[in-house]
Amino acid sequence: MGRGGKSRYVAIGRDLPPAPSWPPPTPRSRPRARRPRSPPAPPRPAHFLRRTRPLPLRSLRRQLAVPVIPWRGYRGDSPSDSGKDVLEIPLPPWQERPEEPLDTKRARLLYESRKRGMLENCILLSLFAKENLGRMSEEQLNRYDRLINEPSNDWDIYYWATEAKPAPAEFEHDVLDMLREFAKNRNREQRLRQPDLEYLFEPPP
């Protein structure tokens, strides 16, 4: 006890500064100013609304109607099931080009031999065209043109060339025999890719 009956600790405590509060108070941030609202979009014209309306079923049928195209002479083997889940696209019929020059015909057949619907035929026919197109006669070129362009299924051409399936009578000719002999690869050559086109610029032997 100190003088006057007061506690020493109380007197000492009066001299101390007040303890800071923890954590320190953060300054209040100013409220963000609200952005002005954009004006409402103007109403769309009536002709736009007429265009966006769903078309009736009759109009859809007219738009989806496909012109009738004659089928090719050979369509390939049809599946044994009902075929409801098969979408078959009609192809234009093959037509012979008697007025086409021989150089143009050879160039076109070379391109069509390289651009097939499956890799196996791309390799087989492009290599076959490299070795045989230059020495074929006009009649043989026409038969080769029909062989690779009239069938609607590229697998049929591959099966005929590898003798996995018999070919129809209209395709049994000397060009198909040449293709079958070439497909046997008796020299055991490595045929993994199409040939480069540099050989077209080489002088003939």
What domains can be seen in the chain, in order of their start residue? 102-186 (1.10.150.250)
b/e 75-112 (16+ beta carbons within 10 angstroms → b): eeeeeeeeeeeeeeeeeeebeeeeeeeeeebbeebbeb
Res 179: pLDDT = 95
In this predicted structure, the answer to whether residue 82 has a pLDDT above a threshold of 80 is: no
Question: How do residues 88-120 score in pLDDT, each as one tens digit?
Answer: 667 778 888 989 999 999 999 999 999 998 999
Q: How confident is the model at residue 27 (pLDDT cuts 50, 70, 90)?
A: low
| Cα–Cα distance measured from residue 119 to residue 130, given in angstroms and rounded to the nearest whole number | 17
Res 203: pLDDT = 72
Question: How do residues 38-81 score in pLDDT, each as one tens digit?
Answer: 777 777 665 555 555 555 656 555 555 545 555 555 555 555 55
CA angle 150, 155, 161 (to 5 degrees): 85
Res 171: pLDDT = 94
Residue 49's Cβ-count burial label (10 Å; 0-12, 13-18, 19+) is exposed
Res 177: pLDDT = 95
Question: How do residues 172-205 score in pLDDT, each as one tens digit?
Answer: 999 999 999 999 999 898 999 999 988 887 776 6
Angle at which helix 154-161 crosses helix 119-132, to 10 degrees, equals 60
Expressed in angstroms, the distance from the first to the final Cα of the chain is 129
Res 106: pLDDT = 93
Amino acid at 134: G
Q: How confident is the model at residue 146 (pLDDT cuts 50, 70, 90)?
A: very high
| Cα–Cα distance measured from residue 198 to residue 130, given in angstroms and rounded to the nearest whole number | 11
Res 153: pLDDT = 87
Res 14: pLDDT = 54
